């Protein structure tokens, strides 16, 4: 706190510090970067008022003469994430210091809700919208994300399902290629269980007459495919 007193002039009364700050580049740059809350609950930069020595006026001078309260955490913005979204409270709800000269911004924490879609399987692209277009429930303190959605037509959706099936099948085949390679290199036989497993994977697409009855999520699960046998792999 800066010591000072009220000065009576011919047509005005104003507060003035007993000692004014020294003019330095650091002081002026620091003051110039500050943000203040006005008596109208709006925010503004330092008004660039200066003392006779060229130093920017200190916070006490601005408070007493123009009711400007220094905002202590203007640049301390909490980072929203996938589960929590922060919204700045109205300035009237910010926290004032005991001496009333400074104010601290306060925030409301909203729980982020990821929407579910009954027709998720038909979605080709799901692009999140800007948070200004999300759905806010200010009573429950929740916010639901919204998306721009592009959907598959029936033929393209079935094609994508076949792509998922064959891609997953090929990956599972690749996971056991090493057994075939080692058997060949070592000149030993590969177990019947492995041979049957790999042949079942190869034949899988031909066993499905209607791919549309399955969802992409089902086809992508490991349980959709035969179980890989355990060793011994060679004889």
CA angle 203, 205, 211 (to 5 degrees): 155
Strands (E), the chain: 4-8, 13-17, 35-37, 43-45, 69-71, 84-88, 95-96, 102-104, 107-113, 123-128, 135-137, 142-144, 147-151
Q: Are residues 144 and 160 in the same domain?
A: no
Quick check: is 230 in a domain?
A: no
The pLDDT value recorded for residue 6 is 95
Please identify, among 49, 71, 93, the residue that sits at the C-terminal boundary of a domain: 71
The span from the CA of 152 to the CA of 122, in Å, is 5
Write down the residue that tokens 């007193």 correspond to: 5
Q: Are residues 139 and 97 in the same domain?
A: yes
Predicted TM-score (pTM) of the model is 0.70
Per-residue pLDDT tens, the chain, 235 aa: give them: 678 999 998 888 999 999 999 999 999 999 999 999 999 999 999 999 999 999 999 999 999 999 999 999 999 999 999 999 999 999 999 999 999 999 999 999 999 999 999 889 999 999 999 999 999 999 999 999 999 999 999 999 999 999 999 999 999 999 999 999 999 999 999 999 999 999 999 999 999 999 999 999 999 999 999 999 998 999 9
How many domains are there within the chain? 3
Residues in the chain: 235
Domain range for residue 132?
84-151
Quick check: is 79 in a domain?
A: no
Please identify, among 125, 151, 177, the residue that sits at the C-terminal boundary of a domain: 151
Please identify, among 112, 128, 151, the residue that sits at the C-terminal boundary of a domain: 151
Quick check: is 63 in a domain?
A: yes
């Amino acid at each position: 706190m800066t010591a000072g007193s009220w000065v009576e002039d011919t047509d005005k009364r104003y507060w003035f510090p007993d000692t004014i700050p020294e003019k330095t580049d650091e002081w002026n740059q620091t003051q110039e970067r500050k943000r203040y809350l006005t008596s109208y609950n709006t925010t503004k930069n330092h008004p660039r008022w200066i003392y006779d020595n060229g130093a920017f006026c200190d916070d006490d001078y601005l408070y007493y003469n123009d009711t400007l309260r220094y905002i202590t955490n203007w640049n301390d913005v909490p980072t929203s994430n996938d589960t929590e979204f922060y919204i700045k409270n109205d300035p009237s709800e910010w926290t004032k210091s005991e001496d009333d000269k400074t104010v601290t911004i306060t925030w409301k924490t909203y729980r982020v809700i990821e929407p579910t879609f009954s027709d998720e399987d038909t979605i080709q692209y799901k692009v999140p919208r800007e948070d200004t277009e999300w759905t806010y429930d200010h009573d429950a303190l929740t916010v639901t994300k919204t998306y721009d959605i592009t959907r598959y037509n029936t033929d393209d959706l079935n094609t994508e399902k076949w792509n998922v099936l064959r891609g997953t099948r090929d990956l599972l085949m690749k996971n056991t290629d090493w057994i075939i390679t080692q058997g060949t290199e070592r000149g030993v036989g590969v177990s019947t269980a492995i041979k049957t497993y790999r042949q079942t994977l190869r034949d899988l697409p031909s066993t499905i007459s209607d791919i549309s009855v399955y969802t992409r999520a089902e086809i992508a699960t490991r349980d959709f495919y035969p179980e890989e046998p355990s060793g011994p792999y060679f004889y």
